[in-house]
Structure 1
Amino acid sequence: MKSLQHTGRLKGTLSIPGDKSVSHRSILFGAMAKGVTTVEGFLQSDDCLSTIDCVRKFGVDVAVEGESVTITSDGIENWVEPDTILYTGNSGTTTRLLSGVLASTNFASVMIGDESIQKRPMKRVTDPLRQMGADIIGRKGGNFTPLAIQGRELTAIDYPMPVASAQVKSAILLAGIRAEGTTIITELEKTRDHTEKMLRHFGVELDEQDKTISLRGGQTLTPAHIVVPGDISSAAFWLVAGAITKDSEVELANVGLNPTRDGILEVLKNMGADLSFDSADSPSHEEIGTLKIRTSSLRSTEIGGSLIPRLIDEIPIIALLATQAEGTTIIRDAEELKVKETNRIDAVVTELKKLGADIESTEDGMVITGPTPLTGGKITTYGDHRIGMMGAIASLLTSTPIELDDPECIAVSYPTFFDHYSKLTADSH
């Protein structure tokens, strides 16, 4: 349990910790490549450490010194069969991407995650991998972990994606690298493209035409140096905090500005936020920049369609933002929220209602009317880091303290979150 309340302004500069999606991929791709890969800005969160723990079980050497990581590997073709079960913790990224990688190995492996992962749907990954020839067994026909994977030689497929999911896309691409033929994926909507960008950085050739990606099989990864940008999903919480807290000004440095991830910036602009940003030269393969946000007079907006994949992880904090905007904000086309760490539609609506928000759930999103003063209370996080951070940011507005039932869950993606909360509230004095 953690009690939080702050009635003053926010002031200060934060260096946002490394992007979780990029950190996962840097470890996994470095382990697949033959040679030495180095990583700067690695996010030492629980999820990313799960990926490191798994690849070490294949005989890959991973040395971690703070935010610097060195991966020394003999290449995926020389990975050894793990002698224990692969535990992926709370990480859907680890579980799904690793499924695609393991499908083409020459050994058997078993993956299991925590209680949350054991409820998250995996057929969206196991079905296309089976079409490629993968041998995968799991609960409910392969829809839930544990997953047992016997590596096999794979054949490329032409796959129209039934869901907009970067994790599914990435799993198929990673299987396609070692498959016979050319793997073709057509997306419903363009999703985050960290995998495509990083594969090129590791020397893999891909072709992208609109929403279609083609990858020729039989390629190998060459070692690379990766600089991980700050996570815009983490930055989003402070962007909202700065916009809704009186007399505030917050600067966020080293933020990833990948166009497939910057939907939160579009929403803030559409709602009238006092937001500015400066792009910087990227030392690696991802765009970066500095963001500045000030207290803002906000108006409602509608969020849906192709914008959703660009901000799916930010919807909990956007819902809080909407409680302070003039008018009715509508979020639609966000069914994917139902199969995150928890059902985030239900969780967000339930917890914000406790605080006095005018919010209702719909089949594919929510409707929020504001501005509404918020009271304090006990927030149930459901073990979901983003619900926990949403509750913590709400404490900047509430008339009485917010109590988080499980603040530790935030370490999944943002282990220094409370340090940064303290810095901004302390600097304001």
Structure 2
Amino acid sequence: MLAAMSTADLRSSPQAPPASRERGDACPGSLRLHTADDGALARIRVPGGVLTVRQARTLAEASARLGDGELHLTSRGNVQVRGLGAGCGGELAALLDTAGLLPSPGHERVRNIVASPLSGLDGRGRLDVRPWLTALDTALCASEPARALSGRFLFALDDGRGDVAGLDADVTLRAAADGGAELGLGSAGEALLVSVEDAPRAALAAAETFLQTVRATGTGVWRVDELPRAHGSFIDLVGRRLAGDGIGHERCVRDAGRTDGPAPGAVGAGLSAHVPFGRLAAPQWRELTDAAVGEMRLTPWRGVVLPTPRADVDASLGRLAAAGLVTDPSSPWVRVGACIGRPGCGRSRADVQADATEARAALAPGGLPLYWSGCERRCGHPRGDRIDVVAAPEGGYLLSTAVTGQEPRTITLDHPSRLATALAAITA
């Protein structure tokens, strides 16, 4: 049965900033594991999504030896290993450390940096953000105050094309048209224009200013957009910090970002593959590492970009497709996402990945992406316009539109097999 209902509990507009955080940040990491219904979970931060082939193979070894054998990509280009047994934390840490994936144990949960995955590969960005990535990660790991950042605090490095500038990062660097760099803070419409050379140092200064502001306000918040507005303008505080550090800057209007990543297929001097639900079995991961030349780039859209010689692209795409990865931009999989659902999560009301798989054939070309969630938390949901498909307490699902500038519409869906009818009704 399809029926209209209240959308109050499913609105996707930003929530009002909370006054405080009453509990500590429990975000998992490589050293702080999270207990799930399918075993312990480790989240390995991969700044910029960049892995050497050696590091990628170490992650596969860790999952095969200690976990469920799969590797799970997150919406921040990080990697999760699930199904970990009790008491394996030390062995996991040793493996990661040997591969260079734990450069600073005290900072391992705060190395949350996304970067334009095609930067330097397709000639469309204004600059290659790799120097920013290296400099920011090095400075972050050397900063004693930065250890106090939440595991949810996010940096974004955008080469000017706008792809990661729309991901709601706390601190965003975006290459500007005039050769400088926009320093964006949360979702503020203004930015600070700094030089390309000063950009990584300015980003870290903004993060440290955030921590000082949190202490001054006593709120304990985790994200820039949660700072109370009554305590002055955060951008002014950052500007004063930059001036004190000798970093020249000026205010500017911030360019709007996008929320879409690279389409599957050939991309400049490389290739792009989408990973359904971000889940990679061992043979799929092996195909990716075999096709990679030097490195892999994990994307915030649960995909992988591989720098690949042009002569090898077609053959590599064929092997990846045969392994079950998505290399066709017209595939319905590109528009389907889901949280882990049952049986991995005790909060989930449904096996959302199985239901989403069954229903994907109902997706016509074009249209909004769908994100399936086992509960109202909608863990890992993408930014941007979409349709949320949330398991309902009484069974079935609630479909709710999340479109910028439009009031949400919600209907009920009693079974995934009726998705086509539901989509026609909610988008009419």
TM-score between the two structures when normalised by the length of structure 1: 0.30
- Larger strand proportion, structure 1 or 2? 1
